[in-house]
Copies of this chain bind each other. A is one copy, B any other.
Amino acid sequence: MTLPRKLSFWIVVSFGFALQGQSAWAGQIPAAQNPAVNLMPLPAKIVFGPGKLKIDSSFRVSLSGYQEPRLLRAADRLIKRLTLLTGIPLPLTLEEDPAKSIFEIRCVGPGQKIQTVGEDESYFLEITSQKAVLRAGTPVGILRGAETFLQLVSLDADSFFMPVLQIQDAPRFPWRGLMIDVCRHWEPVDVIMRNLEAMAAVKLNVLHWHLSEDQGFRVESKVFPKLQELGSDGNYYTQAEIREVIEHARNLGVRVIPEFDMPGHSTAWFVGYPEIACAPGPYAIERHWGVFDPTMDPTRREVYKFLDKFIGEMARLFPDEYFHIGGDEVTGKQWDNNPAIAAFKTANGLKSNDDLQAYFNNKILAIIKKHGKKMVGWDEIFHPDLPKDIVIQSWRGQKSLADAARQGYMGILSAGYYLDHMLPASEHYGVDPLEEETADLSNEQKARVLGGEACMWGEFVNPETIDSRIWPRLAAIAERFWSPQATKDVNDMYRRLDVTGRLVNLFGISDGGNCKAMLRRLAGLHPLAPLRALADIVEPLHLYLRPDVREYTQLTPLNRLVDAARPESTEAREFQALLEGFLADGPSYGVNREKVIEKLVRWRNNEALLRPILDGSYLLKEIIPLSERLKIAAESGLKALDYLVNNLDVPPGWREENLALLEGPEKPEYEVDLVIIPAVRKLVEAAAAGKK
């Protein structure tokens, strides 16, 4: 397979407009004077010039070169978004004469009929004080450049404007995805639609749609209608809806890859069709979370007949060249308990359940190929029996990818990009598909690492909470997949992440998801501010702790503080930075002093305001100890600050006493962490360390 990061170079050169080093452009201004860039992901190359292009009601778009509906829709979308970004009404009609347009879009050719992993996505964007010109080899390249254009819209004392610059851009990896699990909790079409738009805004190009699970089967099958009728509680996508999603995704330059997990994670299939399982059933939709035993029977011809018909139907519905078969977490228990399967293994020389699964995968691969597709599966499908054109999706880490690449297999990385783990953006940002064990691969082997996918598993998200779990953190991962490997400045990433988080509001993804609405629900008719002050400095427990605290099923409401809380507290990050500045300024401690005091005082006083609200809400009573902890922590912090500022020695035992006060339960009933605690602890330690 030819990879686009090679292809794109060729196309840029062929256009004859590549920047020949920075000196190629007379207008270039010194890097030190560059305007702040809010682009996310950062482009491969950017050179600023002097001046700006004013955006006003004279703005007109022209399309020249190759034409197709995707480009017309892209222009229409761009004009509408520019109107939203500026408030200036702009006509949707295109300017026929490129010379008269303010934004000239020139597309060279049609690209692939169905967008492929090898599709050229490179583009060149030049903005002068007179006009902007976007050039690309394919419509997908134009789509990428149009998103860059929209991220450059700025405001100053004179007008809305675009900075004068040249951007030459192409992705580092060709496979940049988001997996959404719509099975553990159902996510209706509008959730998918708005997330597709936001994905395109950060140049992601794959929606990996996890469509079947123990807990639900989410697609209408006309061949096997009991799949959705009995396996979904009525929550499934019709084929017409699937087509609408695919069409919308195509217009945004996003491929849609369906996953039907097999042979495990498949209880919901068996509710309607127990005959394809290894045990007779009956089966019911699984309501709990975990890894379960129901598994397809890999030994019977009827099972493959069923899957041949089913995969054939889905292969026609989903046009992408890849088809994901899951393949993860087969317990093997149903296989071990079935004498016929044991006999089959012996008869066919299959020594282990892994061998049996590889046998199954090979049969499925043949079916998938017959229907014109290539296969993707999780780590577990990797087996030396399989041909080299499969793609391994690694949830285990770079080592799996490195092993696979050395043996000639392609792979994508998901380990490190699990959004449901509730980790800070910086942690995901620090994971690179070509670092750790993959770092030592040869260039040829590295080229087999196609990119990665963030994973939004569905156990603890529903339509109300999913946006806040995906955004804005996904944008940091998207940058990891698109931008040059050296793009690593975490502070600058966070600065731009704030801007990008607001940008995706345009698509109906609100700041912090539905945080405010959910807090309102919790607070009833009480004023919201005290609850919000607390919610702003907590984060949900990391995923692996949460199920220890409370028993969760598909039917458990997700309506507590932990669900309204954002995965990453901006307020706590800012407090941490303020405090670092304060402590670094000892012994005078002038820097940030007032701001630190203001915040600590507000937190100390919050409990008194919040308590009546907590007492009045059955969903909030459980956070009374949390609110009390905040007060205690703020008091400790203020006392520590007092010692520091007045250069006093702390009394004996004060340090130990206060550090003990700051200790909280490891697995609190309320399922969130008070994330300003580490900063307060630093303050206590600094006070205890004594005079400088």
Contacts and interface: CB of A to CB of B under 8 A. Distances in A.
Interface of A: 38, 57, 84-89, 91-93, 154-160, 233-234, 462, 464, 499, 502, 505, 510, 517-518, 520-521, 524-525, 554-555, 557-559, 563, 615-619, 621
A156 B87 contact: no
B154 A524 contact: yes
A271 to B, nearest CB: 16
Question: Which 8 A-B residue pairs are closest in the complex by CB-CB distance?
Answer: A87-B559, A155-B524, A88-B557, A87-B557, A158-B618, A157-B618, A159-B618, A155-B617
Nearest to A516: B511
A508 to B, nearest CB: 9
Nearest to A616: B157
A670 to B, nearest CB: 16
B521 A156 contact: no
A412 to B, nearest CB: 33
Given A87-B464, A87-B558, A156-B618, 4 more contacts: A89-B462, A89-B554, A155-B524, A160-B618
A294 B88 CA distance: 29
Given A57-B555, A559-B86, A621 B157 contact: yes
A82 to B, nearest CB: 12
Contacts of A502: 520
27 contacts: A38-B525, A86-B557, A86-B559, A87-B464, A87-B521, A87-B557, A87-B559, A88-B557, A88-B559, A89-B462, A89-B554, A91-B233, A93-B234, A155-B521, A155-B616, A155-B617, A155-B618, A156-B524, A156-B616, A156-B617, A156-B618, A157-B615, A157-B617, A159-B618, A502-B520, A505-B517, A510-B510
Given A57-B557, A92-B234, A525-B499, A87 B518 contact: yes
A32 to B, nearest CB: 20
Contacts of A87: 464, 518, 521, 557-559, 563
A131 B621 CA distance: 26
Given A505-B517, A617-B157, A89 B555 contact: yes
Contact of A464 (B84, B93, B155, B518): B84
A248 to B, nearest CB: 16
Q: How many copies does the complex hold?
A: 2
Contacts of A92: 234
A292 to B, nearest CB: 21
Nearest to A161: B618
A28 to B, nearest CB: 24
Contacts of A520: 502
Contacts of A462: 89
A562 B155 CA distance: 18
Contacts of A621: 157
Given A57-B555, A92-B234, A233-B91, A521 B618 contact: no
A86 B559 CA distance: 7
Contact of A89 (B84, B85, B88, B557): B557
A85 B464 CA distance: 11
A462 B88 CA distance: 11
Nearest to A555: B89
A167 B505 CA distance: 41
Contacts of A89: 462, 554-555, 557
A521 B499 CA distance: 12
A615 to B, nearest CB: 6
Contacts of A84: 464
